[in-house]
Amino acid sequence: MEFTRKHGHTAGRAPTEDNLLVFYLPDAGEWERAVARLEKAGYKPVKASNLFWDKKGKTFEDPDGYRVVLQNSN
């Protein structure tokens, strides 16, 4: 998974904060490592529009507003 962007080009915003790409990572260690990799890359978790995703997951937003959820469940 990679967040990409082109310098000097502005893409439109995502339609809503509920347009999500969700990855289910049931193993707690695998989930923690995935979260740490995104944070190390400079991405900070954001509050999910639907609080369900904050219970067992973390939501990240790219510079264009598209969101990815790393969910620690199956």
Give the whole-angstrom CA distance, residue 54 versus residue 69. Answer: 9
Residue 65, pLDDT score: 84
Do residues 35 and 41 lie in contact, with contact meaning Cβ atoms separated by under 8 Å? no
Tokens of 64: 């264009």
List per-block mean pLDDT (blocks of 10 residues) for the chain, which spans 74 residues. Answer: 75 79 96 98 94 96 89 95
What residue ranges do the domains of the chain occupy? 27-66
Residue 50, pLDDT score: 93
pTM of the predicted protein model:
0.80
Give the whole-angstrom CA distance, residue 23 versus residue 47. Answer: 17
Residue 63, pLDDT score: 83
Residue 69's CB is within 10 A of a number of other CB atoms, namely 20
